[in-house]
Structure 1
């Protein structure tokens, strides 16, 4: 489910940027062009997703040991899902132990995927 901010909309195919919001315990959704938060939600499905980590932000987190937003999934909004299917692989990013997003089972770095699903503060990818 997605909760949009007042007077904000989201369309299928719209390019968005998503990150984990630790204060709200869900994902924040930004318009990729304006970088303004347009809403919050779970079960977000993205197509043509790219996984981005800002190096300066990562360095700051490692130095100060304080969390800050510096890792995103950027892609085209494709709708809402409620369950993870078997075709998706769990991926994660940990600023203290990984340089980029990685596939949990293989520990291989992943930069992009055809489809990405974000739910329950976790990220899943499918190629």
Structure 2
């Protein structure tokens, strides 16, 4: 896994393993509790989200692309970001429930199923 530090990856929550999946060049390369990226794009497949809502079936349809920084566990202060297809069709700030798509910082994903966005 260390050889992909600095590379572009895709991060999403694996519904079966209850871990973060890390995809690199289209292939899942890791399932981890902690990962930090410099985000480049927040993605929600709207058609798949509507299917989840209508059929009440879970599927991976939201992810975040970014440059991989590390796999270290850490305590960071910042904005807690999450995604729930039933609450909002985008990633959102857990405190304000407003859409969140800030790219100017880092996202640390941890075992809470949420990500913390912070500057630094």
TM range (shorter): 0.7 to 0.9
How far apart, CA to CA, are the structure 2 residues paired with 1:10 and 1:49? 20
Q: Does the 8 Å CA contact 2:76/2:116 hold for their aligned counterparts? A: no
Query: What residue is the counterpart of 1:100 in the other structure?
Result: 90
Query: What residue is the counterpart of 2:63 in the other structure?
Result: 72
Alignment RMSD, CA only?
1.6
* TM-fit CA distance, 1:51: 1.7
* TM-fit CA distance, 1:47: 0.9
**Number of aligned positions between the proteins:** 117
Query: What residue is the counterpart of 1:25 in the other structure?
Result: 18
* TM-fit CA distance, 1:10: 4.0
Q: What TM-score, normalized to structure 1?
A: 0.83
Give structure 1 stretches of 5+ with no counterpart.
none
Q: Does the 8 Å CA contact 1:52/1:111 hold for their aligned counterparts? A: no
Pairing 1:1-127 to 2, within 5 Å after superposition: 10-31=3-24, 34-86=25-77, 88-113=78-103, 114-120=105-111, 121-127=113-119
Give structure 2 stretches of 5+ with no counterpart.
none
Q: Does the 8 Å CA contact 2:83/2:92 hold for their aligned counterparts? A: yes
Q: What TM-score, normalized to structure 2?
A: 0.88
SS at match of 2:30: strand
Greater shift, 50-59 or 68-77, is seen at: 50-59
SS at match of 2:17: coil
